[in-house]
Amino acid sequence: MSEVAAKKEEKPRKFQAIRGTRDLLPPDTALWNRVEQTAHEVFGTFGFGEIRPPIFEPTELFARAVGGETDIVSKEMYTFEDRPLDIKQPEFLSQYSDYLQLVQSLYRKGEIPQTEENQKTIENFSEWHEKFAATEGKGSGITQVQFENFENALYRMVFWCERVHLGPQVSLRPEATASVCRAYIEHNMQQLPQPVKLYYMGPMFRRERPQKGRYRQFYQIGAEILGGPDAPAIDAELIEMLMTFFDKCGLQGTELSINSIGHAADNCRRGYVAKLREELLKVKDKLGADSQRRIETNPLRVLDSKLEHEQAIIATLPHIADHLCDECKTHYAAVKHELELRGVIYRENWRLVRGLDYYMRTTFEITAQGLGSQNAVCGGGRYDGLVELLGGPPTKGIGFAIGEDRLILSLQESGKGAAPQGRDVYIAWMGERAYATAIRAAKDLRNAGFRVELPPTELKFGKALERASKLGSRFALILGDNEVQSGEWTLKNLATSEQQKLTEQALLEYLHGL
């Protein structure tokens, strides 16, 4: 077989969605739309407006807001360099010299990131380029040592050249609270009537180990309240809105857990963390590797541990509620009171600490049924100070994000999934003249809001009726020469097989009246 023929025989590669990502398909997408529509409606009744931030932002924004030590920022972000379009890295050795000059000049003009790291990298690139130039072109007959020097200089020059940042580091958003705060500052929203209430929905990205209810591209529906006072009624009303939304979606078996993690001061959370670390050090040997590491990096996260053998140890650790300052204690008690006023049922969970650094005081999570180990369908909390941390004015903040994938999964598990969408009318036409009428009928029926299927080619009636049933159509509109001539169309009810003759006007009235 010739090479060309062999190539033809070769099957083209089949592509699959990347691990941790998936296609959302009909009929499921109807449920997604219903859930999103419910969010628009419920959040609207609480005075929230929609924000649509970009899907990628500077990496530094997430590092600063979510915390550089968190799993999300240190391991899970999809990060890349947003390079200018017209800079090409060298392909041949002869191009390195020009490329170095270009990079140096762009750096001086501030057209590539003027960071300390980049400056050092360009210096190293320059130094090894000089050494490389000195060893290059020595001709044949070079000694082993000369060759090794040349090889070493070349390797290091290329190494540093590739490390020059030609553009800022950007990341696909792992969450949206940081973006909303950035937008609040960027658009001077502190000048609007406070607080500003915003909600969003859309994809987020985290490189986590995929499993049921955990994806690398997943969807959140979130809401944030920025500015104004930190009145406990704000915390409670936000949670009330969330529970109303879940209720309207028909979510079953929801459980709301709340906690207060105080604020960062010696007489409050910092004092507690020191005490916790002290206690954890006493039992360090009995803890797993993750918890041992967290004693140093973030002892609060040890409380999050799901490891079976750590549970008995964690149960003996001090509770944060006993170490809150008076103000945080009062705030927490008032939040609980406000929830009770609204009839919101909650459970206190002293171990609820959350995995993002920006939280203070109120934290909460909601679990739902049918989700296995990934049963948190929503998480949120207060984050006074985050806007300031991102360069804005001192601003109170609180919000939540719902895992939409998990919400949908739970609804489906409890039988609230969407049924495949059938058609109202399948138009079975035969003959040239009937076809023109069929096109007009399809247009009129669709304008009236009915789901209509118009086969693109002529089919025998038997075949057409078979297709109509397969598509879950309620009716077949039969259009042949007779119908066109008489102006009386035949409508067949596919469930009962009953047929009736109707004019176009009568048909529309009949369908509307169902």
Residues that bind ligand HAM (CB under 6 A): 175, 177, 206, 208, 213-215, 218, 220, 222, 224, 356, 376-381, 399-401, 403, 405-406
Residue 145's Cβ-count burial label (10 Å; 0-12, 13-18, 19+) is exposed
Residue whose CB is less far from ligand HAM, 357 or 483:
357
Provide the angle, in degrees to the nearest 10, between the axes of the packed helices 504-512 and 432-447.
40
Residue (of 221, 227, 219) closest to 197 by Cα position: 227
> How far are the Cα atoms of 46, 142, 507 from residue 450, in angstroms, in the given order?
33, 84, 12
- Compute the distance between CA of residue 346 and CA of residue 257 in angstroms, rounded to an integer: 6
> How far are the Cα atoms of 460, 467, 499, 502 from residue 489, in angstroms, in the given order?
17, 20, 10, 5
Residue whose CB is less far from ligand HAM, 128 or 218:
218
Residue whose CB is less far from ligand HAM, 65 or 154:
65
Residue whose CB is less far from ligand HAM, 383 or 489:
383
CA atoms within a 13 Å half-sphere pointing along the CA-CB vector of 400: 27
Q: In angstroms, what is the minimal distance from the CB of 401 to ligand HAM? A: 4
**Residues 201 and 227 sit within 8 Å (Cβ to Cβ):** no
Q: In angstroms, what is the minimal distance from the CB of 325 to ligand HAM? A: 22
Residue whose CB is less far from ligand HAM, 48 or 400:
400
Residue whose CB is less far from ligand HAM, 401 or 502:
401
Residue whose CB is less far from ligand HAM, 258 or 313:
258
Q: In angstroms, what is the minimal distance from the CB of 437 to ligand HAM? A: 50
- Compute the distance between CA of residue 78 and CA of residue 214 in angstroms, rounded to an integer: 16
Q: In angstroms, what is the minimal distance from the CB of 82 to ligand HAM? A: 23
Q: In angstroms, what is the minimal distance from the CB of 454 to ligand HAM? A: 40
Name the residue with the smallest CB distance to ligand HAM.
403
Q: In angstroms, what is the minimal distance from the CB of 267 to ligand HAM? A: 25
Sheet architecture: strand order including 499-502: 452-453, 425-429, 475-479, 489-493, 499-502
CA angle 36, 39, 44 (to 5 degrees): 135
Element at 366 (helix H, strand E): strand 360-367
DSSP 375: -
> How far are the Cα atoms of 25, 107, 424 from residue 420, in angstroms, in the given order?
11, 57, 13
Helix residue ranges, H only, 298-325: 311-315
Residue whose CB is less far from ligand HAM, 66 or 427:
66
Residue whose CB is less far from ligand HAM, 401 or 428:
401
Q: In angstroms, what is the minimal distance from the CB of 48 to ligand HAM? A: 13
**Residues 201 and 404 sit within 8 Å (Cβ to Cβ):** yes
Q: In angstroms, what is the minimal distance from the CB of 206 to ligand HAM? A: 5
Q: In angstroms, what is the minimal distance from the CB of 72 to ligand HAM? A: 7
DSSP 214: B
